[in-house]
Amino acid sequence: MGVVYEAEDSKLGRRVALKFLADELIHDPNAVLRLRREARTASALNHPNICTIYEIDESDGKIFIAMELMEGETLRELISSKPLALESVLRLGSQIADGLDAAHSRGIVHRDIKPANIFVTICGQAKIMDFGLAKLFWEERPNRLTAVSTLPTAGIAEAHLTSPGATVGTLAYMSTEQVRGLELDARTDLFSFGVVLYEMATGSLPFRGQTSGLILESILNRNPVSAMSLNPAVSLDLDRVIQKSLEKDRELRYQTASELRADLRRIKRDIDAGTSQSDSSQASISPSGSSRHLSAQGLPIVNRQPLRFLLIALQLMYLVFYLVALDRFEDIHRLAQILIPGSGWGLPMVVLVTAGIGIAARLYLLSSITFDHPQLGTKFRQLYFLLLPLDQLWALSSLLLVTRIGLGLAFGAMAALLYCPFAQRTLVRMAYPVASPATLKSGGGI
């Protein structure tokens, strides 16, 4: 790990940042040689989205790099476990991709792309830092690489950081080929950048686990939850870009940073065009000046947690309703004999069967909402046409209480129960938005 100081270049009269080599590596000739080589390579990169290295020198026996002094914060600090605005994700993402493209065109692979190695200046410009430092600890042995992480990642468990002696790069941001110890090329940076994009868009990592082994297993074998499911503000197109960046097979992944950058810029252009076209209509709808932000599905962007609590409360209400009805099963039988003489157990059996179906469906929804199933929106749409007639039928059962609560309250309860399925559908659509078939064909949002 390096130590950075602010200093002034007395010859040129400019402020610079000095990064000193860690004490334990000062007398390592191989480390010094590799650092000099990497510093020379990185200093050849002159790009607005790459931190400029001025020189490598030595003072009092300590080797250091003189580089551009930047004011702002790292992307790690900017994210702080919360998603960034969609505009920021696209703007910063395009800049980072631009910097990677410049480096890759010179044959330089970063190998440790992560939010801690990306700086965002006070002007909102992204700068990639620490190019080539991952090579500093590279052991030229087949299938064995030594870990490096120049900066930790705040808010992430230690298991998600570098595991010494295992792999190059920071564990949670490593590509599948890094995990497997394969020969690396520029596409490994694009996978790591996909992880960064996912974290920018959702505030969380795509591959998680309690131990290093579980994280590695997730990177190799598990597909991350869709970014759209975690943040409704993420557009369908951006979600596709992230998913393509995180392809485990690098032949199916983005092949160049320029290709990824073009897609990000295209999404930003389309969103900007849509925003400008809707400005006048939004102004007429909201004369007070307040804006109503919409997700990619055309629904208001709201906090999902209260919606989930309401949905859980609805499922519990229905379960209690079914259980009470079953508890009064004998009363229902007697009432059926009064209303429809000679009907026998026909009506009670209908109640029994529908209650069984309803309880099973509500338990499924309750567990899915409780554990925040990412595909609940799609599953609910499939169940909705089964639940709607079932709920409408059960709403009529409130009339059985006419003798106890009166006709007015019985009709009020029936109206409320008739309304509940539609309210539930709206809550699910807001909390778990999904794209319609027409949208999937056009690539847009609902």
Rounded distance between C-alpha atoms, residue 23 and residue 25, angstroms = 5
Report the distance separating Cα 112 and Cα 193, nearest Å: 9
Q: How far apart are CA 26 and CA 44, in angstroms?
A: 24
Q: What is the DSSP letter of 50?
A: B
Q: What is the distance between the alpha carbons of residues 24 and 71, in angstroms, rounded to a whole number?
A: 29
Phi and psi (nearest 5°) for 398?
Answer: -65, -25
Q: Which amino acid is at 234?
A: V
Q: Which two tokens stand for residue 172?
A: 């949670």
Of 124, 54, 58, 73, which is closest to residue 96 (Cα–Cα)? 124
18 and 8 Cβ atoms separated by less than 8 Å: no
Whether residue 185 contacts residue 207, with contact meaning beta carbons closer than 8 Å, is answered with no
| Contact of 365 with 380, CB cutoff 8 Å | yes
Query: How many residues in the chain?
Result: 446
In one letter, which amino acid is 274?
G
CA-nearest of 48, 18, 117, 29 to 76 is 117
Please state, in angstroms and as integers, the Cα–Cα distance from residue 336 to each residue in 124, 296, 391, 409, following that order. Answer: 71, 50, 20, 22
Check 98, 101, 112, 263 and give the catalytic one.
112
User: Which pair of tokens denotes residue 194?
Assistant: 């996909």
98 annotated active-site: no
Which is it for strands 53-59 and 14-20: parallel, antiparallel or unpaired? unpaired
Q: Which residues pair with 4 in a beta bridge?
A: 19
CA angle 403, 408, 409 (to 5 degrees): 75
C-beta of residue 159 within 8 angstroms of C-beta of residue 210: yes
| Structure token digits, residue 108 | 């330089």
Three-state SS for 247? coil
Q: Is the dihedral of CA 73, 77, 79, 85 positive or negative?
A: negative
Q: Evaluate whether 90 touches 271 at the Cβ level (below 8 Å).
A: yes
**3-state DSSP assignment of residue 15:** strand
Catalogue the active-site residues: 112
